[in-house]
Structure 1
Amino acid sequence: MTTKRDPRDVTAEPPGAPDPRRWLALVVLAGMQFLLVLDMTVVVVALPEIQADLRFSQAALPWVINGYVLTAGGFLLLGGRLADMFGRRRLFLAGVLIFGVASVVCGASTSSSMLVASRFAQGTGEALAAPAALGMIPLLFTDGRERMKALGVWGGIAGLAGTLGSVISGALTGVDWRWIFYINIPVVVLALFLIPRVLPESRMARESPRLDVPGAVTATGGLIAVVYGLLQAASHPWGSWQVLAPLLGGVALLVAMVVVESRSPDPLIPLRFLANRTRVTSNVLSLVIWAVFIGYVVLLNWYMQQVLDYSPLRTGLMNLPRGAAIAAGIVLCTFLMPRIGVKPLLTIGFLGSAAGLLLASFIEVDSSYEGAILPGLIVFGLFSGLCYPGLINGALHQVTGQDSGLGSGVQNAMQQVGAALGLAVLVTVALRHTEDRVHGGTVPAVAQTDGYALAFRVGAAALVVAGVVAVLVLERVSTQRRNALAEMPGDPASTTTSAESSPS
């Protein structure tokens, strides 16, 4: 009697035989990765149009971004555990479905609360889909050379999504901002059709870990409350209950998260992972660079549209030099890192990025693009790009094979959380300063420009502090290739991070 082989079962292939569907599967995985990265940056240029159409307050507008990144970052590690337990293809399919439905609701939103709620749902879809997709690449590409090519394609697609986000946003917003969400639908439908046909199912062979749902919920809830409190400070005094209640509540939830993690038999982030000084410092520095980056991008786009009166398409195109500069910085860092080490590059990168933000702070109500905006874009882009590969290397310093997936997952989560915190802090700084200047009799456009400039200087100061920390705290990190990272399923995240760190 002949047993019919299920073509979707990866274990049915002879040992070591490459999956014949692997390149088509990579197209599906990379296509969804393109959308997941794109949806964090594609809304930036569209924010003023969204604000006018759905009547967002200026302080509430950042939630269009924060709702997505906080949920994605907060539940990313939990999503990885779910993929291990219930199957990566199954979780990827579920994440894509949630992301697609949420995209439809985003585009159809008739109120600010409806849009923000659907952005939280989109973030949930990413938290399920992204780690499952990352874990499938090394299973599909068992040959080391093919795997590196696949990871290169994955990283390039993610970087392209980040770079094109502002341009796509500008072009579609000129028609209707809702199309920045509707463009997801054809890709999602195609992915839902292909996923069961080209992706094999896989899950952990060993006993699956327990789910640390309380840890994920308290961490995400605490971060959301803290960010909400910071944004409330843009329109309320620091001592008001509107600010203190969410801030204190968020801190309490984060403390509860620490308690839960310390007592959990299988925590999302084991204490052993936090024992390495360089690893922890690199993750904190990743949070800082992303906090400043996203805040800078959003406020600069607001300045170009609201003060200089640029169209959405022109604003998107004006962001392209930053993407090119970031790519150049990443290439330069990759070349220099084996020669001079991670620590000097991070120090130079953070201090150079601070100089770029300082240049950006010399904006006025009638500044020219070439004289006031472009220099900051290029300098900040080049030196921030110099940081990203080094931060990945540091975040994975002395990570064992057992923790390679955890290391890359924590680094990605820190990027998402940093984006939300940075946007909350820098927007609050800008709006409070603007309001104070307007009450003092300053012309609104001038006050608004001064608020943006102050936020850029605050961001520059944070980067200087980060550069000093890099000098004082980081160990010398070896840049030799780690065998564990070339072999473990968690590795792809470390490759995509450098590309995802270049949104424009």
Structure 2
Amino acid sequence: MAATMPQQDPPKADPRRWKALSLLALVQFIIFLDATIVNVALPSIQRDLGFSEATLTWVVNAYLITAGGLLLLGGRIADMVGRRKVFCIGAGLFAVASATAGLAQNSEVLLAGRSLQGVAEALSAPAAMSMVALLFTDPKERAKAFGIWGGLAGLGSAAGVLLSGVLTDLASWRWVFLVNIPLAVIPMLLMPKLADESRAPAQGRRRPDWLGAVLVTGGLIAILNAVLNAARHSWDSTAVLTPLLAGVVALALFVVVESRTAQPLVPLGFFANRVRATANVATVFVASSSAAVFFLIVLYTQNILGYSPLRSGLAWLPFCVAFMPGLFLSTKMIMKAGPRATLATGLAVSAVGVALFTRIGVDSSYLTDLLPAMVVTALGFGMTNPAMQNAALHEVSEADAGLGSGIVTTVLQMGSALGLTVFVSLALSHQRGQQATGVAEDLAVVRGYDHAFLIAAGALAVGAVAALLILRGVRPAAPQQVDPAAAGDDGAEQEHTDGLADADHRRRPVRQGTRD
């Protein structure tokens, strides 16, 4: 009679994982907080440091573009050097950068501090996100963890506007940066006690692609600068064509380099998974529209309605409150209805909310015009954020956890910078056209904002339709058992599911009649 091999129990989950999540999510919160916390303070920063109307967007974009351009490189460094180590380095650097921006005495130092904050995010954000993906291997737990993660990221964006008004009015705009210092230092000091070091298996590591990072960052900066210049110059002017062509050439060279190098920054096959690809496309729509909403509505409430910074910040309190039900609903929908229904519903609700902002006028009422739009938009964004975060790491292996995290955060930051640049340019261009016909300045400004919001709402609606079409057949996840014998203990690459079922027939056949 043949002897039977004793069945091994699956590896136990790290008992410290929820405490580690709280610290990782705190850094994620302040990263997204810092992307919007300057918005209400922008008029005060402009007066104190002498920014022009056109260059004011760079107070936001210097952070977004630097982070977005280097996040993929940061993800690779985290995979190679160690995720916990890189996370702690990034958190410490974020504290230093925040102090630099908060103590700046001129515009150049402020922009340098903001850029350094972007570098810090490029190190800490993908490392943190990949640590979450590897700490939570059970599909249900991972869905919950990313619900918290994505929720705090979105809430950080909304809370940034609220906190910005409070700090600017009661203290100084400098505190919108200085407040980050303790929030970054605490996770840096405590994380080594709550999470083990992890890195990609030796055979799965890739060296950082420095040339690719330079090309993609420089190309995106040049293109965004060209789009911003188009608000003040014609499209055939040197101020627009020169950076535009330089950016296009740099991105084209980036694609060539990535297709030929043995260790690319972005392996083109990474996007073959349609769940991940769709999540990243949806991220562009949400990030671009949310950046435009935060930026333009803050300028509208202060410059058109005459709100103080404090009142302008407090006006976003209902947005923060309405965001929470969307988070809870999203987490439940992911497990029960799958990514298709969750993403499509969230994007559709967001589109309706942003469309409601087109009702604003020179003398609009907060209760009847702004509040309904804020509540509906917040609900939609709350539903969409966790679903995007979860889907973006669908079927990411241990070797590529940092890469997957870097890609989704890159898309988020670059989508925000792109949306801010494009929609502000559209608003300014429409405003100039209105003023050329004799429309009063304030009315022309508001009509420019309405024009930008209408296009943003259309982009979100397109995203909702795309999610319905592309994710057809993708179902909610079922808990999966890991075979310890197959997994092995030699550090070989292991694949972790992220709470979404794959329709790929290599894993399991799709039953007829069970489409989402």
Instruction: Give the TM-score, by structure 2 length.
Output: 0.83
Q: Does 1:221 align with 2:244?
A: no
**Partner residue in 1 for 2:251:** 254
Q: Output the aligned Cα RMSD.
A: 3.3
Determine if contact 2:84/2:195 at 8 Å carries over to the other structure.
yes
CA distance in 2, matches of 1:339, 1:309: 46
Q: Which one of 170, 174, 178 corresponds to residue 174 of structure 2?
A: 178
Partner of 1:275: 272
* CA deviation map 1:475-496 (0-9, x unaligned): 32222157599x999979999x
- The answer on whether the counterparts of 1:408 and 1:491 sit within 8 Å (CA) in structure 2 is no
Among 93, 108, 117, the residue aligned to 1:113: 108
Aligned to 1:425: 422
Output aligned runs, 1:329-344, within 5 Å: 329-344=326-341
Counterpart of 2:511? none
Aligned partner letter, 2:177? F
Give the superposition deviation at 1:199: 5.7
Q: Mean alpha-carbon deviation: is it higher for 87-96 or for 410-419?
A: 87-96
Matches of 2:281 and 2:151 in 1, distance apart?
Answer: 25
Cα distance change of structure 1 residues 193 and 272 upon mapping to structure 2, 3 Å threshold: closer
> How far apart are the structure 2 equivalents of 1:101 and 1:39?
14
Which residue in 1 is equivalent to 2:320?
Answer: 323
Pick closer, same or farther for the CA change 1:265–1:61 going to 2, 3 Å.
Answer: same
Q: Counterpart in 2 of 1:456?
A: 453
Q: TM-score, normalised by structure 1?
A: 0.85
Question: Aligned partners of 1:64, 1:484: CA distance in 2, in Å?
Answer: 48
Q: Following superposition of structure 1 onto structure 2, how do residues 93-112 of structure 1 map, counting pairs within 5 Å?
A: 93-112=88-107
Q: Secondary structure at the match of 1:361?
A: helix
Task: Give 5+ residue unaligned stretches, structure 1.
Answer: 1-14, 496-504
Structure 2 counterpart of 1:323, which letter? C
In 2 relative to 1, CA 222–490 (structure 1 residues): closer, same or farther, beyond 3 Å? farther
Q: Which runs of 5+ in 2 are unaligned?
A: 1-9, 488-492, 501-516
Q: What is the rounded CA distance, in whole Å, between the counterparts of 2:233 and 2:222 in structure 1?
A: 16
Q: Is this contact kept in 1: 2:79–2:399, CA < 8 A?
A: no
The amino acid that maps onto 2:303 is Q
- Rounded to whole Å, the distance in 1 between the matches of 2:494 and 2:57 is 34
Q: Show the counterpart of 1:204.
A: 200
Matches within 5 A, 1:122-161: 122-137=117-132, 154=149, 157-161=152-156
Q: Once structures 1 and 2 are overlaid, which stretch shifts more, 363-372 or 400-409?
A: 400-409
Q: Structure 2 residue aligned with 1:284, among 266, 278, 281?
A: 281
Question: Could you tell me how far apart the structure 1 residues matched to 2:341 and 2:177 are?
Answer: 41
Amino acid at match of 1:177: W
What code does the residue aligned with 1:296 have? V
Task: Rate the CA distance shift 1:171–1:288 in 2: closer, same or farther, 3 A.
Answer: same
Task: Choose from 64, 68, 81 the match for 1:86.
Answer: 81
CA distance in 1, matches of 2:14, 2:476: 32
2:394 and 2:498 in contact (8 A); partners too: no
CA offset digits 1:233-261 (Å, max 9, x no partner): 11111111101111111111111111111
Task: Give the Cα–Cα distance (whole angstroms) in 2 for the partners of residues 385 and 149 of structure 1.
Answer: 14
Counterpart residue identity of residue 111, structure 1: N
Mapped to 2, the partners of 1:195 and 1:396 lie a distance apart of 22
After superposition, what is the alpha-carbon deviation per residue over 1:65-96, rounded to whole angstroms, capped at 9, x for unaligned? Answer: 21112222221121121122222333223212
Going from structure 1 to structure 2, the CA distance change for 1:273 and 1:23 (only over 3 Å counts) comes to closer
Task: From the superposition, tell whether residues 151 and 292 of structure 1 become closer, same or farther in structure 2 (CA, over 3 Å).
Answer: closer
Deviation at 1:129, TM superposition (A): 1.4
Q: Measure the CA separation in 2 of the matches of 1:405 and 1:478.
A: 25
Q: How far, CA to CA, are the matches of 2:481 and 2:175 in structure 1?
A: 42
- Once the two structures are TM-superposed, the CA of residue 329 in structure 1 deviates from its matched residue by 2.4
Give the match for residue 12 of structure 1. none
Q: Which amino acid aligns with 1:328?
A: P
Question: What's the % identity of the aligned pairs?
Answer: 46
Cα shift readout 1:255-306 (whole Å, capped 9, x = no counterpart) = 1111111012122221222223443233122111211111111101110111
